[in-house]
């Protein structure tokens, strides 16, 4: 069976007949998992194995497992800190923060790979301007150089575990208060202002080998009337052209309100793919997914197919039992476990994406 340009979700903790039929469609190339898909480590391993068995080559399996409020799998997994905790540590102890960031990236990725998950949509590269209702403590810092240093360390940790990193939300979602899950955010700054701050982490991480990026459902009207994820200017002129990015571009969830300006779900999907996204996410709306599967007519490029092939997790990861015997994993888990519990992430409020239909973010 072939892979295609869509990433869909599944309804529960195992595959229904409808899930199997949907995921077997030639337009589908990946699956995103949410908290509702997780019951236990054993159940998750079976679910990912069942998904993987549907196609050859297998579907890409992804999740949002940043840490803090946005950690889909919790019981049986190491509690990861909100990324802002690493930024606060960096203020006083830069070297220690970078070590912890690498260990957090490694633990997160190693545990996911042990359960058959290929990719976590992390790290967040947005700057913390102190105003965004959806970014908040997910941002590492307000200083672009600190974000670069810590995100680079997270990416290295993920690579140590055989997982690619995905920076988000290009070209920056932290400046505005509006949440793109429930509204249409507009950032009125001009390109020079964005380039001088928000774009710096993306440029640096691309130069350092970042393998995937997710654009924001944000409109920057002084630059383009379309949200970044639907904008050839942002995705082709700036990301591919000026920044020289050669990796995978995932759309954010196309059922989010921030994507509504592009029309109905099929129009949104086509607009995202034509703008430069390699894989388009349609989450939590199986009826809309079915509509796209029946209507989408898109010539998926050979370049996108190659990028999808490269983004899969490295083969033969450690099992969880094998991980527990690895000194590197045990040490890293011990180092960050207290950060995850002491950071107060349970008191920082619920995951905003869980409140808005479990959207990707």
Helix 144-160 / helix 94-114 crossing angle, nearest 10 deg: 40
Contact 6, 269 (CB under 8 A): yes
The C-alpha atoms of residue 144 and residue 125 are separated, in whole angstroms, by 9
Contact 74, 340 (CB under 8 A): no
Mind giving me the DSSP string for 258-304? GGGGG-SHHHHHHHHHHHT-SBEE--S-HHHHHHHHHH------HHH
The C-alpha atoms of residue 71 and residue 80 are separated, in whole angstroms, by 8
Q: 343: which 2 tokens? A: 């950071």
Q: 153: which 2 tokens? A: 């360390």
The C-alpha atoms of residue 200 and residue 144 are separated, in whole angstroms, by 6
Secondary structure element (H or E) that encloses residue 337, with its range: helix 327-342
Residue 297 catalytic?
no
Residue 118 catalytic?
no
Find residue 209's DSSP bridge partners: none
Q: 34: which 2 tokens? A: 């949410």
Active-site choice (181, 217, 278, 312): 181
Q: With helix as H, strand as E and coil as C, how does 297-312 read?
A: CCCCCHHHHHHHHHHC
Contact 311, 211 (CB under 8 A): yes
Active-site choice (64, 252, 253, 351): 252
For residue 56, give the 3-state DSSP assignment. coil
The C-alpha atoms of residue 61 and residue 28 are separated, in whole angstroms, by 12
Catalytic residues: 181, 252
């Amino acid at each position: 069976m072939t892979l295609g340009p869509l990433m869909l979700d599944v309804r529960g903790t195992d595959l229904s007949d409808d899930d199997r039929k949907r995921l077997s469609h030639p337009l589908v190339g990946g699956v995103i998992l949410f908290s509702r898909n997780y019951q236990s480590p054993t159940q998750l391993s079976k679910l990912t194995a069942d998904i993987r068995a549907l196609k050859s080559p297998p579907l890409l399996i992804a999740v949002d497992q940043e840490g803090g409020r946005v950690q889909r799998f919790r019981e049986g997994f190491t509690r990861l800190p909100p990324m802002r905790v690493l930024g606060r540590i960096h203020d006083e102890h830069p070297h220690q923060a970078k070590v912890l960031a690498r260990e957090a990236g490694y633990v997160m990725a190693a545990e996911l790979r042990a359960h058959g998950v290929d990719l976590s949509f992390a790290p967040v590269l947005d700057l913390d301007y102190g105003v965004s209702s959806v970014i908040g403590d997910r941002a590492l810092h307000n200083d672009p150089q600190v974000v670069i240093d810590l995100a680079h360390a997270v990416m290295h940790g993920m690579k140590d575990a055989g997982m690619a990193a995905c920076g988000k939300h290009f070209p920056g979602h932290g400046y505005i208060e509006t949440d793109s899950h429930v509204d249409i955010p507009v950032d009125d700054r001009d390109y020079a202002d964005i380039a001088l701050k928000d774009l710096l982490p993306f440029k640096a991480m691309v130069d350092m080998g970042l393998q995937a990026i997710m654009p924001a459902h944000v409109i920057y009207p002084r630059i383009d009337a379309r949200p970044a994820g639907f904008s050839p200017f942002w995705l082709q002129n700036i990301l591919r052209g000026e920044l020289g990015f050669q990796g995978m571009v995932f759309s954010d969830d196309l059922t989010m309100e921030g994507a509504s300006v592009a029309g109905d779900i099929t129009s949104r999907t086509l607009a995202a793919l034509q703008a430069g996204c390699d894989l388009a996410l349609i989450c939590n709306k199986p009826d809309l997914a079915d509509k796209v599967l029946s209507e989408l007519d898109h010539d998926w490029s050979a370049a996108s197919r190659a990028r999808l092939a490269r983004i899969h997790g490295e083969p033969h990861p450690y099992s969880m039992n094998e991980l527990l015997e690895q000194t590197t994993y045990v040490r890293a888990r011990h180092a960050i476990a207290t950060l995850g519990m002491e950071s107060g992430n349970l008191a920082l409020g619920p995951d905003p994406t869980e409140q808005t239909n479990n959207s990707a973010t």
